[in-house]
Structure 1
Amino acid sequence: MTGPLRFGVVLITEDCSRAEWMTKCRRAEALGYDVIAVPDHLNLLSPFPSAMLAAEATERAAIGTYVLNAAFHHPVLLARDVTTTDRLIGGRLELGLGTGYVRSEFAALGLPDDPASRTRRLEELVGALDPLLAGKGPPLMIGGHGDRVLRLAARRAEIVSFTGAPYRAEYGRTALVDAAELLRRVEFVRAVAGPRAARIELNVLSKATVLTGDRRAGAETVRRYAPDLPPERLLELPTLFVGTPAQIAEQVRGHRERFGLSYFTVMEPAMADFGKVIELLR
C-alpha cells in the first residue's frame, strides 16, 4: 500500500518532568508529526506511562511504541497494557514490536541475546498476542531487517518498518545497507505478504537529518552510519536525509516512488529540522 504520507518521531528521554515531556510532545505535533513514538530501553522513561502522557498533551497525533522489545514483555500483561492504554487515549495507539538489540539490557535481565533467541521471542509474542488482542487491538508495526523478522512482519503486521541496519561484526555494531539492498528487503516483504501486500503500510526509520546546501559535504558527516558506502550511495538512502528542506522533500517523494514507502520516522535530534521538510510536503 502506498497511502498518504505520514511522519513519526521517536522521543528519547532519560529523565524529564511532566511539564517538559508534555511540551516536547506538543512541539512534535505542532511541527506536523502524525505519530509521536516512545522507545523501550531500560535507561529511558517507561513506554506506556510516557505514551499516556503524550496523548494527554496532544490532540490528533497517534501515539506509537517504536519499538517494544519483545523479550521484556509477557504477552498477557502486555495485552492488558496495550488494551488499557489504547482505550484511555481514545484509540490512538500504534503498537510497534521488535527484537531488541542492546546486549547490556539482555544481560541485566538475564536473557539470551543471540539473534535466534531474540527473533524467537518476537515470533512467540506476536503469536500469543493475536488471540488476546483479536478485534480490540491497535495497528501492529513490526520493525527489523533480517528474513525471519520481515517474514513475520509481512504475514502479521499492518505496518512493516525497515531499519536497514543489520549487525555488522566488522564494526561491532549495526550499520546501514545501501539502497539496492533495502529495495531487496522491500521486495522480499511484498513477496511474502502476497495478496495482503496491498494493505501493508511501509515505514522506514531514518537515522539522521542534515540540513545543508552542500549534500556531498553533508554526507561525510553521517559516514559513521555506513562506513563502507561512498557519499553518492549514502545520498540514495531513505535511512538518511541530507540537503536543503526542499531537496529532502524531493528525496521523500522519490523514496515513495522507488520503495513504496509512505511512512517516515525520524529520531528526536532531527525533529525540528525534519519538521521543515514536513511543512513542504503538506
Structure 2
Amino acid sequence: MIRFGVVLITEGCSKTEWTDKCRRAEDLGFDVVAVPDHLNLLAPFPCAVLAAEATTRPKIGTYVLNTSFYHSALLARDVATTRQLVGDRLELGLGSGYVRAEFEKAGIPFGTAASRADRLESVVKELHATLGETMPPLMIGGHGDRILRLAAQRAQTVSFTGAPYRREYGRTALVDADALAERVAFVRAAAGGRTPELNLLPKATIVTRDRRAGLAGLRRYAPDLTAEQLLEVPTLLAGTPAQLAEQVLRDSERYGFAYYTVIEAAMEDFGQIIQRLR
C-alpha cells in the first residue's frame, strides 16, 4: 500500500482557512497532512496541532523542519508537547535548511553544506537521547551522500528530493531517472540491515492529455534533461489521471517508493491519482 501526503502552505491563513485545507486533504484521501517550515509561513507546531484537531484519519507531519533554526533542547520540548497533544499521529520530518536568505533574516550563519549536515546529525542524536521511546517516527530528506546516509541509518523514512543544488543555475535542479536510482541504491547499501520507508517529493503534477507538452512546460525544473529523460524522471508528473496512476505504480516498483508527498498546488490533481490507486 502506497501512502500519500500533502504539504499545505500556511502563509496568510486564518484558522478557518487552515482547517478547511486540512479537511479537504483528508477528503481527497491523503494519508499525511504536513506543515512546512519557512520564515514567511506560520509556525509549524501550532499548525500541526490544529491540523490534528481538524481531521481524524491522516498522520500529521513536518516537511521539513530546518534544524539550524532550533536549539536542540527547545526543539525536543516542542516535539514532546506536540506528540502529547497529537498522539501517535505525529511524524517528524527534519532537514538541514537550504534557503540562504532565511538564514540571513534569522541572523544565523548559513555556513556550508557540511556544517549544516553537522547540525542535523547533532540534532537527531540529541532528540533521540532526550525523547527516547517517545520520539515520533523520523523522516530525513535530501540528495547528497551525507544526509542520505544519516537518513538510511537513523530515520524511519528517507525522503528523496532528486534535486541537488546546481551552482550553474544558482538553485536546485532535477536529476534523471538513472541518477535517482543510484541515490536509492546508495541508501539501501548505507542502511545495512534496516529497511526504511522510501518517500518521493515530486516537483510538479499536471493533469493533461498531452504528456509531452505538459512536461515541456516543466523544463525549468530540469533544464539540462532531454525530452525523453523528462518522460522518465519520477519527480515530474504529467499526463491523464490514468497515466499518472500508472507512473506512480511503475516508479514505486522500480525504486521502492512507498510514500509520495506533493505540494499543496498539486493537491486537487493528485487527489484524482489517489482515487485510482485505492
TM-score by length of 1: 0.97
Tell me the residue number matched to 1:136. Answer: 134
- Say if 2:167 is the partner of 1:169: yes
Q: Is the 8 A contact 2:127 2:135 kept in 1?
A: no
- Say if 2:14 is the partner of 1:17: yes
Q: Is the 8 A contact 2:201 2:261 kept in 1?
A: yes
1:236 Cα deviation after fit: 1.3
Tell me the residue number matched to 1:61. Answer: 58
In 1, distance between residues paired with 2:88 and 2:81?
A: 10
Q: Is the 8 A contact 2:139 2:151 kept in 1?
A: yes
In 1, distance between residues paired with 2:147 and 2:87?
A: 30
78-87 or 108-117: which moved more?
108-117
- Give CA-to-partner distance per residue, 1:260-279, whole Å, 9 cap, x none: 00100000000000000000
In 1, distance between residues paired with 2:82 and 2:224?
A: 42
1:213 Cα deviation after fit: 0.8
SS in 1 for 2:257: coil
In 2, distance between residues paired with 1:163 and 1:142?
A: 11
In 2, distance between residues paired with 1:182 and 1:128?
A: 30
1:110 Cα deviation after fit: 2.5
232-241 or 165-174: which moved more?
232-241
- Residue 202 of structure 1, aligned match among 198, 202, 207: 198
1:73 Cα deviation after fit: 1.0
1:86 Cα deviation after fit: 1.2
In 2, distance between residues paired with 1:234 and 1:36?
A: 28
Task: Calculate percent identity across the aligned residue pairs.
Answer: 66
In 2, distance between residues paired with 1:51 and 1:238?
A: 28
In 2, distance between residues paired with 1:148 and 1:19?
A: 41
Q: Which amino acid aligns with 2:140?
A: I
Q: Unaligned regions of 5+ residues in structure 1, if any? A: none
- Give CA-to-partner distance per residue, 1:75-112, whole Å, 9 cap, x none: 11111111111121122100000011110111122222
- Say if 2:275 is the partner of 1:276: no
In 2, distance between residues paired with 1:48 and 1:6?
A: 22
In 2, distance between residues paired with 1:232 and 1:9?
A: 28
SS in 2 for 1:161: strand
In 1, distance between residues paired with 2:109 and 2:116?
A: 7
1:237 Cα deviation after fit: 1.7
Q: RMSD of aligned C-alpha atoms?
A: 0.8
SS in 1 for 2:223: coil
Q: Is the 8 A contact 2:203 2:236 kept in 1?
A: yes
The aligned runs of 1:96-245 (5 Å cut-off) are 96-113=93-110, 114-197=112-195, 200-245=196-241
Q: Work out the number of aligned pairs and report it.
A: 277
Tell me the residue number matched to 1:76. Answer: 73
1:53 Cα deviation after fit: 0.5
In 1, distance between residues paired with 2:229 and 2:154?
A: 32
Q: Which amino acid aligns with 1:219?
A: L
Q: Which amino acid aligns with 2:77?
A: R
Q: Is the 8 A contact 2:200 2:235 kept in 1?
A: yes
Q: Unaligned regions of 5+ residues in structure 2, if any? A: none
Q: Is the 8 A contact 1:10 1:268 kept in 2?
A: yes
Q: Which amino acid aligns with 1:131?
A: A
In 2, distance between residues paired with 1:110 and 1:89?
A: 31
In 2, distance between residues paired with 1:216 and 1:232?
A: 9
1:232 Cα deviation after fit: 1.7
The aligned runs of 1:1-16 (5 Å cut-off) are 4-16=1-13
Following TM superposition, the consecutive aligned residue runs of length 4 or more in structure 1 with deviations greater than 6 angstroms are: none
In 1, distance between residues paired with 2:79 and 2:128?
A: 12
Q: Is the 8 A contact 1:31 1:272 kept in 2?
A: yes
In 1, distance between residues paired with 2:228 and 2:274?
A: 24
SS in 2 for 1:91: helix
In 2, distance between residues paired with 1:101 and 1:22?
A: 28
- Say if 2:243 is the partner of 1:247: yes
Q: Which amino acid aligns with 2:130?
A: L
- Residue 38 of structure 1, aligned match among 14, 32, 35: 35
